[in-house]
Amino acid sequence: MARITVNTTGKQPHIYLSTDTANAYTGSVATVSGFDFLDVECLQDITITNSTGVFSWTDFCSTDMNKITTPADNSIETNMVIEDTEFFGTLTSGQSTAPEWGVNGLSANKVEVQFVVVMDGEIDVTGKYYYQGLGYITSIAPTVSPEAPIWVSPMTIAVDGILSQGTTVA
């Protein structure tokens, strides 16, 4: 059985963010250069929630519960170590790309993003598993303390629509 490991060099998970929401990422490593992705790395943890709802009911025609699925409420949750340009962007005037906005700017300005979460390495390598979709960055809350002297922040991507999955290809 093959395992998806993340604790060796080059195998860490990455979250890529782009303001290009019109052109969906297809898993092709050849098309990566066409996107202005912000690579969010140095993550402490990631939770990918694919949560399809279920509505249950009973009636007098059956002695068992009846169930039907409802729309899913999906999200990506992580804790990130704050790196200055990744978090605050390039701080140029007239931001339009995710690297210019930074994570904080995307959240504060409610910019819809395309995200790609690569589970085990970088996006430009074939054979990597990923989740992809559109969403909004929420739950930014930088924190630091004398016992933990590195700024960290939670980050949630509230998925808008479908949470797709795939494997990167040449």
Computed over every residue of the chain, the mean pLDDT equals 93
Show the domains of the chain with their CATH numbers.
14-167 (2.40.30)
pLDDT exceeds cutoff 90 at 79: yes
Check residue 128 and give its pLDDT: 93
Rg (CA), the chain: 18
C-alpha closest to that of 153 among 36, 42, 15, 16: 42
Q: How far apart are CA 71 and CA 21, in angstroms?
A: 21
Q: What are phi and psi of 108, to 5 degrees?
A: -60, -30
State the pLDDT confidence band at 1, using cuts at 50, 70 and 90: low
How many other C-beta atoms are found inside a 10 Å radius of the C-beta of residue 144? Answer: 12
Angle at 28 between CA 22 and CA 34, to 5 degrees: 50
What percent of the chain lies above the pLDDT cut of 70?
A: 99
Tell me the two tokens of residue 95.
């931001």
Place of tokens 């999906």: 74
